[in-house]
């Protein structure tokens, strides 16, 4: 196969702009996913998923809602969690403690609500 036919066409103006800007050249290099290995593609996919997921949660829940457990703990330590979120935390803790209640005579499977 002829190498010249398989190469992409890039205009001279585009080459001049990328030669003068090292940031643009590096960005275009990292965005060219075809040259990366499987790990590079998986890394870019994972990073894209995390950014999109956190952006969707931010726009869905609002800026006052913590996006993850780290932000939850920070907001709880600062005392900026709303009463509704503190109530949700209390209810969830009670639910999980009830699953491991030693005084209960009933058989309760681990973290399962089949028999409830």
* pLDDT over threshold 70, residue 14: no
Neighbouring C-alpha atoms within 13 Å toward the C-beta of 59: 5
Question: For the segment 69-93, what is each residue's pLDDT rounded down to a tens digit?
Answer: 888 899 999 999 889 989 999 998 8
**Alpha carbons 43 and 49: distance in angstroms, whole number:** 10
pLDDT the model gives residue 74: 92
- pTM exceeding 0.75: no
pLDDT the model gives residue 28: 72
**Alpha carbons 92 and 45: distance in angstroms, whole number:** 32
Contact (CB, 8 A) for 52 and 60: no
**Better-scored residue on pLDDT, 7 or 81:** 81
Question: For the segment 29-43, what is each residue's pLDDT rounded down to a tens digit?
Answer: 777 766 667 777 788
Interacting residues of 70 by C-beta distance below 8 A, sequence separation 6+: none
Question: For the segment 43-64, what is each residue's pLDDT rounded down to a tens digit?
Answer: 888 999 999 998 998 899 888 8
Question: For the segment 98-109, what is each residue's pLDDT rounded down to a tens digit?
Answer: 777 656 566 655
For 75, counting Cβ atoms within 10 Å of its Cβ (0-12 exposed, 13-18 middle, 19+ buried), the class is middle
């Amino acid at each position: 196969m002829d190498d010249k036919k398989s190469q992409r066409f890039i205009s001279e103006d585009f080459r001049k702009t990328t030669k003068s800007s090292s940031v643009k050249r590096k960005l275009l290099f990292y965005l060219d996913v075809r040259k990366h290995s499987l790990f590079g593609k998986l890394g870019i996919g994972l990073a894209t998923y995390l950014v999109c997921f956190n952006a969707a949660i931010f726009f869905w829940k609002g800026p006052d809602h913590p996006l993850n457990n780290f932000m939850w703990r920070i907001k709880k330590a600062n005392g900026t969690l709303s009463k509704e979120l503190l109530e949700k935390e209390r209810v969830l803790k009670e639910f999980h403690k009830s699953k491991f209640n030693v005084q209960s005579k009933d058989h309760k499977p681990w973290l399962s609500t089949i028999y409830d």
